[in-house]
Amino acid sequence: MTDALSIARDLIRCPSVTPADAGALDVLENLLKAAGFAVHRVTFSEPGTADIDNLYARIGNSAPHITFAGHTDVVPAGDEAAWSVGAFSGEVRGGYLYGRGAVDMKGGIACSVAAVLGYLKDRGVKPREDGKGSISFLITGDEEDVSVNGTVKLLQWAAAAGEKFDHCVLGEPSNQEAMGDCIKIGRRGSQSGTLIVEGVQGHVAYPHRAQNPVPDIARLIVALSDEPLDHGSAQFQPSNLEFTSVDVGNSATNVIPGQARARFNIRYNDLHTQESLRELVEERVAKVAGNRMRAHIEWQPSNSNVFLTKPGPFTDLAVAAIEEVTGRKPELSTTGGTSDARFIAGYCPVIEFGLVGQTMHQIDERAAVADIEKLTRIYRGILERYFG
- Among candidate residues 10, 73, 144, 172, the one labeled active-site is 73
- Side-chain-facing half-sphere of 295: CA atoms under 13 Å: 29
**What does each C-alpha distance from 297 to 192, 229, 347 come to in angstroms?**
10, 17, 32
Q: Phi and psi dihedrals of 16, rounded to 5?
A: -90, 60
Q: Tell how strand 294-299 and strand 255-256 pair up.
A: unpaired
Beta strands in the chain (DSSP E): 38-44, 52-59, 65-71, 92-93, 96-98, 134-140, 167-170, 182-184, 186-187, 189-198, 202-203, 240-247, 255-256, 259-268, 294-299, 307-308, 331-333, 350-352, 366-368
DSSP bridge pairs for 299: 193
Distance in angstroms (rounded) separating the CA atoms of residues 324 and 338: 29
Closest CA to 42 of 52, 54, 50, 51: 54
> What's the DSSP call for residue 208?
G
Distance in angstroms (rounded) separating the CA atoms of residues 336 and 104: 15
Q: Indicate the Cα dihedral angle 54, 88, 15, 336, nearest 10°.
A: 50
Distance in angstroms (rounded) separating the CA atoms of residues 262 and 197: 9
| 143 is a catalytic site residue | yes
- Among candidate residues 10, 142, 143, 270, the one labeled active-site is 143
Q: Phi and psi dihedrals of 182, rounded to 5?
A: -160, 130
| 73 is a catalytic site residue | yes
Distance in angstroms (rounded) separating the CA atoms of residues 41 and 193: 36
Q: Indicate the Cα dihedral angle 99, 41, 155, 312, nearest 10°.
A: -60
Distance in angstroms (rounded) separating the CA atoms of residues 222 and 225: 5
Distance in angstroms (rounded) separating the CA atoms of residues 55 and 41: 5
First to last CA, the chain: 28
Q: Which of the residues are catalytic?
A: 73, 143
